[in-house]
Amino acid sequence: MKRLMMTLILTATTAGCATSFTGSAHVEEGRAGCERKCAGQGLAMSGMVYMGEYSSACVCEVPGAAGGSGAAAAAGGAATGVVLQMRAAQQQQQYSYR
């Protein structure tokens, strides 16, 4: 019984862990900053995601790669991550006011 209770407590405490991001939510210097970040990793900038006041991000790809669908998928994934984090922060605020 004690082992079951410990398992339930451990599961409950780890299941509620939220993902968080560190650092600035915006790319400094916009496009020029993205181009430098991508070039610094040996990649070429293929796009930039801008979500208004919330965040911005670079989309880099391997130089000479065929097609741009990979960039679109990466941008969508980045945007989804930001939106999910914003929703979690809103919920956290709502629960802390109660």
Neighbours of 27 (CB within 10 A): 19
Q: Is residue 16 part of a domain?
A: no
CA-derived radius of gyration, the chain: 19
Pick 62 or 87 by higher pLDDT: 62
Q: Quote the strand ranges of the chain, DSSP E.
A: 44-50, 56-61
Q: Is residue 17 part of a domain?
A: no
The domain in which residue 60 lies consists of 24-97
**pLDDT digit string (tens) for 43-79?**
999 888 887 777 888 888 888 876 555 666 666 666 6
Q: Which string of b and e fits 37-67 if b means at least 16 CB within 10 Å?
A: bbeeeebebbbbbeeeeebbbbbbbeeeeee
Pick 68 or 86 by higher pLDDT: 86
42 has a pLDDT exceeding 90 = yes
| Whether the model pTM is above 0.75 | no
Q: Is residue 14 part of a domain?
A: no
Total structural domains within the chain: 1
The span from the CA of 78 to the CA of 64, in Å, is 22
Q: Is residue 47 part of a domain?
A: yes
